[in-house]
């Protein structure tokens, strides 16, 4: 599409996210909630909604909802009412889901996302409510039949509904990344979009720039990664603009994203939309969330990514880039936290985590919990470099690999036993300098004729002949002096 046409329009986006909760049992029964169990093994009469069975609220679901509510600065309702959402589908044995229709547990929350100008943008949350998942229809295992696995039926979900505050596919990408980070930090959901434990429906409309009236929204489903949500939105914005430019009227409908083709396809129109005939759930009495209960959850709240980000960019003086990198994964951030308990060189510690540590993890596909070297030993590495005992490159290339092999060793002792302690003794450095000067008379001549940038070349040679052990600071000034003579 031509840029000037696209530039006439403003996209408006609101996202609905379903997060499967990491509880031991299901939302309203004691059936286990385990991903990957043999199909239809965690299915009791309660999950099937047989006559005479009664749902019982899982307290953990409420606790997790409160955690997310507190983390998003939401108002948390005192009385939890439940409703039945009725529809017929093979993977819904009860014929209804128990959900919160008009009385969500959380309202008015906020998600902070990074925005283009480097500042924060706030995306409002309309609501977060508790509900249960349906079973799973599997279409691609049997050639002839659709198979149904009811293990997922009754798994607790939180539905997180955003305000239509998102204005581009990049903002949607950032929003989902932040939501995923948050549920992972809170240990309430594994955030795995590929496995469906975090799912997103995107509502998208476009309007002329400067307009205050939103266009008709289209809902897009079936994106199994954050990147695909972004792609689906991007496609949909262009499709709607082209339709409007061609004089068409956007119909309110639900569309499905085809990841292979990168397009959205109409599923059903508004006229064919479901009427769920909500009514109050008669088997589950309202549940009261007391203020003391909220305070208990508040006391147990972990550090959140945004708090850490603000601490790193503020107190620790790290760049936004470094701080975001460190806080992307909770485990990595906590590892960094452990290092900076032992050293005040925050930037030095960050460099180790984002450099050597992270690339080792990536190379071997390891989790932080599987990383052999203790945070304390990384702090020792930072320290001995700062003290000038070894150079940064020696620490990286010689001592770090040795620590990976023998994680219990003390970095300084490793340096000593491998004879890597940096030489800041002037007379021995001077001996190396003499050697370098003797080996490179032509370069010395050029340096003396004004090519001062050759000092870098001489430093390199000096490091080579000294086996990397010459203290660069001392060496640099001695070298310059010798070259000037």
Q: What span, in angstroms and rounded, lies between the C-alpha atoms of 350 and 357?
A: 10
Q: Does 13 bind ligand ADP (CB under 6 A)?
A: yes
Burial of 52 (0-12, 13-18, 19+ CB in 10 A): exposed
Compare residues 63 and 201 and give the one whose CB is closer to ligand ADP: 201
Selected binder of ligand ADP within 217, 358, 380, 469 (CB under 6 A): 217
460: left (phi over 0), alpha (psi -120 to 50) or beta: alpha
Q: Cα dist. 324→123, 157, 337 in Å?
A: 19, 28, 14
State the minimum distance, in angstroms, from the CB of residue 5 to ligand ADP: 20
Q: What span, in angstroms and rounded, lies between the C-alpha atoms of 314 and 319?
A: 9
Which residues from 93-132 bind ligand ADP, rule CB under 6 A? none
Closest CA to 97 of 72, 65, 129, 68: 129
Compare residues 13 and 368 and give the one whose CB is closer to ligand ADP: 13
Q: Cα dist. 148→79, 136, 153, 221 in Å?
A: 35, 6, 10, 20
Selected binder of ligand ADP within 75, 141, 211, 214 (CB under 6 A): 214
Query: In terms of DSSP bridges, do strands 218-223 and 253-258 run parallel, antiparallel, or are they unpaired?
Result: parallel
State the minimum distance, in angstroms, from the CB of residue 279 to ligand ADP: 18
State the minimum distance, in angstroms, from the CB of residue 8 to ligand ADP: 17
State the minimum distance, in angstroms, from the CB of residue 201 to ligand ADP: 8
Compare residues 219 and 423 and give the one whose CB is closer to ligand ADP: 219
Asked if 186 contacts 64 with a C-beta cutoff of 8 angstroms, the reply is yes
Which residues from 126-165 bind ligand ADP, rule CB under 6 A? 161-164
Q: Does 16 bind ligand ADP (CB under 6 A)?
A: yes
Selected binder of ligand ADP within 203, 329, 343, 391 (CB under 6 A): 203
Compare residues 217 and 469 and give the one whose CB is closer to ligand ADP: 217
Q: For 451, list phi and psi in degrees, rounded to 5.
A: -80, 75
State the minimum distance, in angstroms, from the CB of residue 204 to ligand ADP: 6
Quote the crossing angle between the two packed helices 305-313 and 169-185, to the nearest 10°.
100
Q: Does 85 bind ligand ADP (CB under 6 A)?
A: no
Selected binder of ligand ADP within 205, 240, 254, 343 (CB under 6 A): 205
Residues engaged in binding ligand ADP (CB under 6 A) = 12-16, 161-164, 203-205, 214-215, 217
């Amino acid at each position: 599409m031509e840029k000037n046409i696209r530039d006439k329009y403003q996209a408006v986006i609101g996202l609905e996210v379903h997060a499967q909760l990491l509880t031991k049992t299901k939302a309203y029964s004691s059936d286990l909630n385990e991903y990957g169990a043999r199909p239809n093994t965690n299915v009791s009469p309660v999950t099937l909604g047989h006559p005479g069975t009664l749902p019982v609220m899982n307290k953990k679901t409420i606790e997790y909802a409160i955690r997310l509510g507190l983390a998003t600065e939401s108002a948390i309702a005192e009385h939890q009412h439940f409703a039945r959402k009725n529809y017929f589908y093979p993977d819904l044995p009860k014929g209804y889901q128990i959900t919160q229709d008009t009385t969500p547990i959380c309202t008015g929350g906020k998600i902070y996302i990074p925005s283009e100008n480097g500042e924060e943008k706030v995306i409002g949350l309309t609501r977060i409510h508790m509900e249960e998942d349906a079973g799973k229809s599997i279409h691609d295992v049997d050639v002839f039949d659709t198979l149904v696995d009811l293990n997922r039926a009754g798994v607790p979900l939180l539905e997180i509904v955003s305000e239509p505050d998102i204005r581009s596919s990049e903002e949607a990408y950032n929003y989902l990344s932040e939501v995923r980070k948050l549920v992972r930090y809170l240990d309430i959901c594994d955030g795995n979009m590929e496995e469906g434990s975090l799912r997103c429906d995107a509502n998208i409309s476009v309007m002329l720039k400067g307009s205050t009236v939103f266009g008709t929204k289209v809902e897009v489903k079936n994106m199994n990664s954050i990147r695909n949500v972004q792609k689906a939105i991007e496609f949909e914005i262009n499709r709607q603009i082209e339709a409007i430019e061609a004089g068409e009227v956007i119909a309110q409908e639900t569309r499905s994203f085809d990841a292979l083709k990168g397009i959205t396809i109409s599923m059903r129109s508004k006229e064919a939309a479901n009427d769920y005939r909500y009514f109050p759930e008669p088997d589950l009495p309202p549940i009261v969330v007391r203020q003391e209960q909220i305070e208990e959850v508040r006391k147990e709240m972990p550090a959140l990514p945004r708090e850490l980000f603000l601490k790193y960019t503020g107190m620790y003086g790290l760049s936004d880039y470094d701080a975001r990198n460190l806080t992307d994964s909770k485990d990595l951030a906590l590892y960094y936290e452990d290092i900076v308990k032992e050293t005040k060189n925050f930037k030095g510690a960050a460099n180790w985590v984002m450099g050597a540590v992270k690339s080792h993890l990536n190379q071997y596909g390891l989790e932080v919990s599987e990383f052999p070297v203790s945070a304390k030993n990384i702090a020792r590495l930072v320290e001995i470099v700062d003290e000038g005992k070894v150079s940064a490159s020696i620490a990286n290339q010689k001592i770090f690999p040795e620590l990976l092999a023998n994680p219990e060793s003390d970095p300084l002792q490793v340096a000593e036993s491998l004879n890597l302690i940096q030489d800041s003794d002037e007379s021995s450095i001077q001996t190396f300098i003499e050697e370098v000067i003797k080996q490179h008379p032509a370069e010395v001549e050029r340096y003396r004729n004004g090519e001062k940038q050759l000092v870098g070349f001489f430093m390199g040679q000096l490091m080579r002949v000294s086996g990397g052990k010459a203290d660069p600071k001392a060496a640099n000034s001695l070298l310059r002096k010798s070259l000037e003579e």
